[in-house]
């Protein structure tokens, strides 16, 4: 996950260099949003949140006294959502589909539905909802499924990279403990 956050500005820089016109402006916006996600993620990691909570009252007291952590979490959530939406738009554009801001609700509803544990990682749910909702914007079902699979592929790749980094740290920690 952390690797993917640092990788996004590189991907956006490539898009800025090799694109022209309106597409270049979309990549610039994506780069700015990616930088905002990176900064807000940094704020979250700099704030110590590992406190033992024994009940809900302690959590509420913690949140009441630490408004900076709430603000950092809120900023991170907003920037992540907007950045994810731009990735959705750019993914559709890579398939020749131009989607506008009116599809923001499609992205939001699909994201919420994927979090419901119906299938593994929302596979099938995302694609079905995209087919249903994007038909209202004139997108063919095959293209909607392709958009869903591309987004799913990006999620899998980022998760695999994060998993490999995590696994490396576990193996490194284990070898240090043995020595």
Q: Which of 42-46, 111-115, 127-131 has the highest mean pLDDT?
A: 127-131
* Of residues 24 and 116, more confidently modeled: 116
Give me the pLDDT at residue 138, please.
93
Give me the pLDDT at residue 38, please.
61
Give me the pLDDT at residue 1, please.
42
* Of residues 143 and 69, more confidently modeled: 143
Q: Which residue has the tokens 């599809």?
A: 103
Q: What is the DSSP string of 86-135?
A: HHHHHHHHHTT----GGGHHHHHHHHHHHHSTTSGGGTTHHHHHHHHHHG
In this structure, what token pair is assigned to residue 47? 């704030």
pTM of the predicted model as reported, rounded to 2 decimal places: 0.62
Give me the pLDDT at residue 74, please.
78
* Of residues 165 and 91, more confidently modeled: 91
Least confident of 2-6, 147-151, 169-173: 2-6
pLDDT tens by residue, 22-69: 667 666 666 666 666 666 555 555 555 454 556 666 766 766 777 777
């Amino acid at each position: 996950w952390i690797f993917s956050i640092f990788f996004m500005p590189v991907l956006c820089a490539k898009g800025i260099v090799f694109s022209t016109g309106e597409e270049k402006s979309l990549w610039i916006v994506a780069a700015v949003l990616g930088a905002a996600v990176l900064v807000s993620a940094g704020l979250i990691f700099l704030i110590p949140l590992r406190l033992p909570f024994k009940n809900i009252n302690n959590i509420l007291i913690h949140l009441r006294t630490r408004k900076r952590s709430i603000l950092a979490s809120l900023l991170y959530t907003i920037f992540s959502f907007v950045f994810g939406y731009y990735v959705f738009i750019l993914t559709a554009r890579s398939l020749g589909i131009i989607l506008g801001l009116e599809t923001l609700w499609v992205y939001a509803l699909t994201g919420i539905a994927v979090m419901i544990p119906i299938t593994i990682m929302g596979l099938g749910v995302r694609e079905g909802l995209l087919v249903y909702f994007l038909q209202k914007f004139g997108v063919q079902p095959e293209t909607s499924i392709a958009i869903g699979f591309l987004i799913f592929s990006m999620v899998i790749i980022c998760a695999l990279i994060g998993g490999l980094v995590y696994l490396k740290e576990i193996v490194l920690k284990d070898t240090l403990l043995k020595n």
